[in-house]
Amino acid sequence: MEHEIKLLKDREVDQKNKASGYETLLRDGIPLNEHFLALKNKFNNEKDELEKLVRNLEEEIKREEMNNRNKKHKIEILKRE
Asked whether residue 57 carries a pLDDT value surpassing 70, the answer given is: yes
Domains contained in the chain, number: 2
Whether 53 and 81 map to the same domain: the answer is: yes
Q: Is the pTM of this model over 0.75?
A: no
Task: For 1-49, write each residue's pLDDT tens digit.
Answer: 777 787 778 888 887 777 666 666 667 666 777 778 888 999 999 999 9
Whether 69 and 52 map to the same domain: the answer is: yes
Whether 46 and 67 map to the same domain: the answer is: yes
Whether 14 and 44 map to the same domain: the answer is: no
Whether 64 and 47 map to the same domain: the answer is: yes
Whether 1 and 11 map to the same domain: the answer is: yes
d(CA 35, CA 53): 27
- Asked if 40 contacts 61 with a C-beta cutoff of 8 angstroms, the reply is no
Supply the range of the domain harboring residue 64.
31-81
Contacts of 38 (CB under 8 A, 6+ apart): 25
Whether 37 and 5 map to the same domain: the answer is: no
Buried b (16+ CB within 10 A) or exposed e, 29-49: eeeeeeeeeeeeeeeeeeeee
Q: What does the pLDDT read at residue 20?
A: 67
